[in-house]
Chain A
Amino acid sequence: MSVGPVRITVAGVAIALGCVACTESSTPQDSPSAQDTVATEDTAATQTTMPEEVAAVVPSGPPLVEGLTRVNVLGPPEGGAGEVPQFRWEPVEGAATYDLVVLGPDGPLWAWSGEETEIRLGALPVERPQGMGGPVIVAGSCWSLVALGADGHAVAVSEFLPVSPAEPDGHVCVPGSGAAPTS
């Protein structure tokens, strides 16, 4: 079942969370504030302040959960990411760890949790040698990142982003449902 993003009011979440994730921007200086981000009607288009060279290659998608500060993702690109891409993002102020999940067309492909702000699929510290097994990206995959505070609660989330090993196939990522073909 396809589930579209649920829109919530900025003020509502800010009040309910005690503004932990909203009034104290956990994004870098040049990133949109939480209010700017969530106030945007179509958050998939909220990439305006990212560096030009990054914005050119970083895909976009709906936020994982609306109303939270956004994690600025730096890579991989939507297409041509290779089978074992490197995931990169800007650090989030107040984040103690990051949870990363790669969702394939048939379910979760891989997940990771750690303090670093970049990780290669499979979490090997070196390039995966030829002949070594492990998870690989397949067409129609989506990935996302959740920044967790020291208390274990989410303080920021990424968009739900498409990624393909070869050329972009145009799929979009729907939170909760995974990839869907573009209409």
Chain B
Amino acid sequence: MSERRTGTAVLVVVLFGVLVTPVSVGAQTGDITFPAGTSKGSVMLGGSVETEGFRSDDTHYLDRRTVTSSDITFDIDVDSQGQVTDGTMTVDIRWSGFGSGTTPVTGDAYLIKSTSQKSGTLDLEGTADRLVATGSLTAESSVYDTDGNFIEEVSGTREDEVGWVFQATGITCGMVTGKLVEAWGSGLMVSAKFPRKVREGDSETRNELVSVFRLLSPDAYADSEALAMRIWDLNEAANSLLAEPTPTVAGLATVLGIAESLRADLARLERCELALDPSGNEDWLAAILQSLLVKALERPELWNAQDLITMLNMGVRGGAVDAIGSDPTAAELYEEFGNALEFALGEAIASSDLPTIIDIAAASASYGYSGLYEAATAAIEELSQ
């Protein structure tokens, strides 16, 4: 048992959606309600799920599934009470799989790849508080060896019954955002509802999730095409970055930049009448960034101090990093950035890299890392003598 490494499962799935409507939003009670009329929306599912561990016979396995594309759009008709009277969601999710390990009986090593797709049309009903998509999706999977040679069509074509529940959670100007709150059936959408961290036997699971609805006022609707384009760009950028083994600083900046451009587009609208949650943060953006930053900091040794400071800046800017515990992931990231910078400081001190030590001192002073600041300034003093 002593040589047996604890298995780790990493689940990073981001769900991101948009709802565009041609009519204004009712906000009589402060609750978020869908406006009467026909609305259009989309959902993005992105990220990866990785499970590593040991079977009961001590053979090792690794399984990783990465979303390669998600095209999920929907239309809903809403009555004057905010009830969805009719709606459909068109789904096309594709992902790749990678598996490695040792075969239980023979002990031989194996390495396989797979591609999968789940598509179909679901029915929608409910309200902004509980928008339920149910129905049957067609699932297909194929398996290849690492040279790309087809091995077998694992599942053929089968029908999977699924249920996904979304909830609107906040409004920024003319844009309502929400998230996946429940899922049943099978597939990555269900995996996306795993808790961020779960340890079960030799397994640990981590998960990041966000979903977004956007409800646009009549003025906003006039610009919906441009906004939809921006949202599409954001979906693509986030999904692409989430599919990478490790996000890049430039990729993070791109996602943040598009998100802020979208926000600026909304702020420029002639009217901004949806004051339901004026103090609300954009948790959808924070969740996307958190997924990316968590992934980035899994390997802190990849980053130099300047990269870390840049990513910390972007994380705080996007609401993904915070020192207090109201958002555990944000607080955890704040701590992890501190640890990573501490490691970087140690390396900088070892190499007498004064400019980097000064960078870390400035960052630790700015972001409130008192111990790190103390260590960095002491190192500056020592090197300056």
Tell me the A residues contacting B by CB distance below 8 Å.
Answer: 1-3, 5-9, 12-13, 15-17, 20, 64-68, 99, 101, 103, 106-113, 123-126, 128-136, 144, 146, 151-154, 157, 160, 175-178
Asked if B278 contacts A67 (CB within 8 A), the reply is: no
Which stretch from B38-46, B97-105, B237-245, B357-365 is at the chain A interface? Answer: B357-365
Is B142 an interface residue, CB under 8 A from the partner? Answer: no
Is B274 an interface residue, CB under 8 A from the partner? Answer: yes
Is B263 an interface residue, CB under 8 A from the partner? Answer: yes
Asked if B323 contacts A9 (CB within 8 A), the reply is: no
Asked if B355 contacts A6 (CB within 8 A), the reply is: no
Is B277 an interface residue, CB under 8 A from the partner? Answer: yes
Asked if A125 contacts B264 (CB within 8 A), the reply is: yes
- Chain A's nearest CB lies how many Å from the CB of B318? 9
Asked if B365 contacts A108 (CB within 8 A), the reply is: no
Is B322 an interface residue, CB under 8 A from the partner? Answer: yes
Asked if B282 contacts A123 (CB within 8 A), the reply is: no
- Chain A's nearest CB lies how many Å from the CB of B304? 9
Asked if B383 contacts A124 (CB within 8 A), the reply is: no
Question: Given A99-B309, A101-B313, are A176 and B385 neighbors across the interface (CB < 8 Å)?
Answer: no
Task: Pick the most buried of A12, A68, A131: most chain B CB atoms within 10 A of its CB.
Answer: A131
Asked if B173 contacts A154 (CB within 8 A), the reply is: no
Q: 16 new A-B pairs (CB below 8 Å) besides A3-B374, A64-B362, A107-B323? A: A6-B377, A7-B381, A65-B358, A65-B361, A65-B362, A99-B313, A101-B316, A103-B368, A107-B324, A108-B323, A112-B313, A112-B317, A113-B314, A133-B170, A133-B281, A146-B366
A-B contact pairs, 28 of them (CB 8 A): A3-B373, A6-B377, A8-B384, A9-B384, A13-B354, A20-B355, A64-B365, A65-B358, A101-B366, A103-B368, A108-B322, A108-B334, A124-B267, A125-B267, A125-B268, A126-B267, A131-B276, A132-B172, A132-B263, A132-B272, A133-B278, A133-B282, A135-B319, A151-B355, A152-B359, A153-B358, A154-B359, A175-B365
How many angstroms between the C-alpha atoms of A95 and B369 in the bound complex?
Answer: 25
Question: Given A154-B355, A154-B359, are A67 and B316 neighbors across the interface (CB < 8 Å)?
Answer: no
In terms of DSSP, what is the predominant structure of the interface of chain A? loop
Residues of A within 8 A of B279 (CB): 133, 136
Which one of A108, A123, A124 contacts B321 once the chains associate, using CB atoms below 8 Å? A108
How many angstroms between the C-alpha atoms of A131 and B215 in the bound complex?
Answer: 14
Residue of A nearest to B334 (CB): A107
Asked if A16 contacts B172 (CB within 8 A), the reply is: no
How many angstroms between the C-alpha atoms of A46 and B373 in the bound complex?
Answer: 22
Asked if A111 contacts B317 (CB within 8 A), the reply is: yes
Is B250 an interface residue, CB under 8 A from the partner? Answer: no
A-B contact count (CB 8 A): 180
Asked if B264 contacts A124 (CB within 8 A), the reply is: yes
How many angstroms between the C-alpha atoms of A1 and B334 in the bound complex?
Answer: 17
Asked if A133 contacts B172 (CB within 8 A), the reply is: yes
Is B144 an interface residue, CB under 8 A from the partner? Answer: no
Asked if B323 contacts A126 (CB within 8 A), the reply is: no
Residues of B within 8 A of A108 (CB): 316, 321-323, 334, 367-368
Residue of B nearest to A103 (CB): B368
Asked if A132 contacts B380 (CB within 8 A), the reply is: no
- Chain B's nearest CB lies how many Å from the CB of A44? 14
Which one of B173, B334, B369, B384 contacts A131 once the chains associate, using CB atoms below 8 Å? B173
Asked if A146 contacts B362 (CB within 8 A), the reply is: yes
How many angstroms between the C-alpha atoms of A6 and B378 in the bound complex?
Answer: 7
Question: Given A124-B264, A131-B173, are A12 and B309 neighbors across the interface (CB < 8 Å)?
Answer: no
Asked if A111 contacts B316 (CB within 8 A), the reply is: yes
Residues of B within 8 A of A1 (CB): 370-371, 374
Asked if B306 contacts A153 (CB within 8 A), the reply is: yes
Asked if A133 contacts B277 (CB within 8 A), the reply is: yes
Question: Given A131-B274, A160-B365, are A152 and B306 neighbors across the interface (CB < 8 Å)?
Answer: yes
Asked if B372 contacts A176 (CB within 8 A), the reply is: yes
Asked if B275 contacts A111 (CB within 8 A), the reply is: no
How many angstroms between the C-alpha atoms of A125 and B362 in the bound complex?
Answer: 27
Question: Given A133-B282, A134-B281, are A177 and B370 neighbors across the interface (CB < 8 Å)?
Answer: yes
Is B124 an interface residue, CB under 8 A from the partner? Answer: no
Residues of B within 8 A of A177 (CB): 368, 370, 373
Question: Given A9-B384, A175-B373, are A131 and B267 neighbors across the interface (CB < 8 Å)?
Answer: no
How many angstroms between the C-alpha atoms of A133 and B285 in the bound complex?
Answer: 13
Is B312 an interface residue, CB under 8 A from the partner? Answer: yes
How many angstroms between the C-alpha atoms of A20 and B188 in the bound complex?
Answer: 53
